[in-house]
Amino acid sequence: MTNRNKKRIVLFLLFILPLFLYLFLSSGINNFAKLPILTKNIIDVSNIDDTKSSTLKNKISVICFLGNDIDKAKGGLFNLNEKIYKPFYDFKDFQILAIYPKTKKEEVAKLKEEIGAFTNMVKWKFIESSEAEINAFYESFKTNSTLTDGYITEAYLIDKEAALRGRTDDDDAKDGKLFGYNMTSVAELNNKMKDDVKVVLAEYRLALKKNNADREI
């Protein structure tokens, strides 16, 4: 190999290859398949939380509505705890919000004890509110469903900008739009919601990496 060819290889390794890798990574970030936004500007949960201790801002939130029959909601909540909460609760900005009527405080206290017997509850937040405020909060999601006595089987995925995420091409959903994930179905939590939470988490990780790379240039 001639000295000229050696110099060309050295120049390529020092300058061209790093530039190519950066462009490749940037392209990968920009073309990453994001989970669709179905509804923007959801009412912040702090508006219905008398304690003002909860917020959707800068959080990846899973929200469920327990309604007036806590026993009816219990099975789905245990599924959500096992299939979604436990795999993701150690992520810094992840949380699950369970919304319930103020009149059900005692029942919810018992439910929390049952879940807490085998779960670190640090990212579970139970929020009590009036039924009118709960309905108004849910209506801001603009789904194709309604609450029944304050309850619905679906859990909803909300991003850090208070936007509802879901699917627009789901084979099992009306018009392809999947607004929420059925908590009573272990299969749906496993095969759909878990994957979608991973996608949203990956979006923010990739965005953070891109921002850090831009600062270093």
Q: Does residue 83 share a domain with residue 14?
A: no
The confidence score (pLDDT) of residue 204 equals 87
| Tokens found for residue 61 | 């939130």
Q: Does residue 41 share a domain with residue 27?
A: no
What's the burial of 33, exposed, middle or buried (CB within 10 Å: 0-12/13-18/19+)? Answer: exposed
Sequence-distant (≥ 6) Cβ neighbours of residue 134 within 8 angstroms: 48, 65, 99, 100, 101, 147, 150
Q: Is 172 helix (H, G, I), strand (E, B) or coil?
A: coil
């709960």: which residue's tokens? Answer: 134
Whole-model pTM over 0.85 = no
Q: Does residue 41 share a domain with residue 25?
A: no
| Tokens found for residue 79 | 């599924």
Q: Does residue 91 share a domain with residue 8?
A: no
Q: Does residue 188 share a domain with residue 133?
A: yes
pLDDT digits (tens, 9 = 90+) for 79-111: 999 999 999 999 989 999 999 999 999 999 999
CA dihedral in degrees (194, 201, 39, 161; nearest 10)? 150
Sequence-distant (≥ 6) Cβ neighbours of residue 162 within 8 angstroms: 40, 41, 42, 44, 56, 57
Q: Does residue 129 share a domain with residue 72?
A: yes
Counted domains in the chain: 2
pLDDT digits (tens, 9 = 90+) for 3-27: 565 556 555 555 555 544 444 444 4
Q: Does residue 169 share a domain with residue 62?
A: yes
In angstroms, rounded to a whole number, what is the distance separating the alpha carbons of residues 183 and 82? 11
Q: Does residue 154 share a domain with residue 111?
A: yes
pLDDT tier at 33, thresholds 50, 70, 90: confident
Give the residue numbers spanning the domain of 11.
3-31
Tell how many helices (H) and how many strands (E) occur in the chain. Answer: 8, 7
Instruction: Give the CATH number, domain containing residue 115.
Output: 3.40.30.10
Q: Does residue 80 share a domain with residue 23?
A: no
In angstroms, rounded to a whole number, what is the distance separating the alpha carbons of residues 145 and 45? 19
Alpha helices (H) along 117-193: 131-139, 186-188
